Amino acid sequence: MNNRQHYLKNVKRVVIKVGSSTLTYESGLLNLYMIEHLVRQISDLHNRGLEVVLVTSAAIGAGIGKLGLKKKPTNVVVSQAAAAVGQGILMNTYEKFFSEYGKTVAQILITKDDITQEERVTNAKNTFCELLERGVIPIVNENDAIIVDEIKFGDNDTLSAMVSSLIDADLLILLSDIDGLYNDNPKDNPNAVLINCVSQITDEIESCAGGAGSQLGTGGMVTKIRAAKIATSGGVPMVIAKGETPDIIRDIICFKNVGTLFLPKTQ
């Protein structure tokens, strides 16, 4: 039995996070090909009997395209307006594609308070569990349209890790525009080496993380390492992989040696 099979063989509940760079073009308009590909993979996973929660970015990106903006706004009010417009576009797109595979989805917009304050934590967990028991695929995003800094996650990598801990997930998958964690920035160093497995997040591992992501996203490798700390501390293994890779979700579930696996901490 290989290392991946040991940690992933009993996976039943999966959280999948996908970033704006995977879901949108540079114009901000939705990449319908990638969304349909993602939905098909998730639906197939669901058909296998797994419970799936999708944490999705791209609401602001979708709103940017619809509002005709040239780039991600720096003004908070404009960003919130873009999120309000884009969230409806995003959910309508997911609903359309998932329905083609006979799947029911639910929208959950949350803030940090919803999964850090005791009473709200219980309510949030109960909602997730009820949806999953009924065969629904929850689609989660931060409530960017009205959120303020005090109750903001700031990136969906962190949000997905906290959701994974909240619902006792067996695996967190972060789909990005990069194959995984490298020992150096592969965009600058063609000789950078992909790190296949991380057993412990050391200072050296953290130093491999670069800066921010694409202009449409809010995260980068730094936020993914932060997410890995949260997930693995809660006993949840995490994989970073490239969202554009064909059948990447199936490859991960089938123990193929793709992306970077972060091993959960043992108690």
pLDDT digits (tens, 9 = 90+) for 229-265: 999 999 999 999 999 999 999 999 999 999 999 999 8
What angle, rounded to 10 degrees, do the helices at 156-166 and 221-233 form?
Answer: 10
150: pLDDT strictly greater than 50: no
Give the Cα separation of 104 and 121 in Å (integer). 24
Question: Per residue in 197-212, pLDDT tens?
Answer: 999 988 888 887 754 3
Is 143 domain-assigned? yes
CATH number of the domain bearing residue 223: 3.40.1160.10
Is 11 domain-assigned? yes
Say what the alpha-carbon torsion angle 16, 157, 37, 79 is, to the nearest 10 degrees.
130
Residue found under tokens 């850090």: 116
Give the Cα separation of 110 and 138 in Å (integer). 12
Mean pLDDT of the chain, nearest integer: 87
224 is annotated as contributing to ligand binding: yes
Question: Per residue in 168-181, pLDDT tens?
Answer: 999 999 998 889 99
Give the Cα separation of 236 and 185 in Å (integer). 26
Count of structural domains within the chain? 1
Is 267 domain-assigned? no
Residue 117, both tokens:
């304050």
Question: Per residue in 20-36, pLDDT tens?
Answer: 889 988 777 889 999 99
User: Whole-model pTM above 0.75?
Assistant: yes
176 is annotated as contributing to ligand binding: yes
222 is annotated as contributing to ligand binding: yes
Question: Is residue 131 within 8 Å of 46, Cβ to Cβ?
Answer: no
Range of the structural domain that residue 91 is part of: 3-262
17 is annotated as contributing to ligand binding: yes
Give the Cα separation of 61 and 145 in Å (integer). 13
221 is annotated as contributing to ligand binding: yes
116: pLDDT strictly greater than 80: no
The predicted pLDDT at position 190 comes to: 84
Ranking 103-112, 145-154, 243-252, 255-264 by mean pLDDT, the lowest is: 145-154
218 is annotated as contributing to ligand binding: yes
Contacts (Cβ under 8 Å, ≥6 apart) of 165: 230, 231, 234, 236
Is 144 domain-assigned? yes
Is 150 domain-assigned? yes
112 is annotated as contributing to ligand binding: no
Is 216 domain-assigned? yes
Is 253 domain-assigned? yes
177 is annotated as contributing to ligand binding: yes
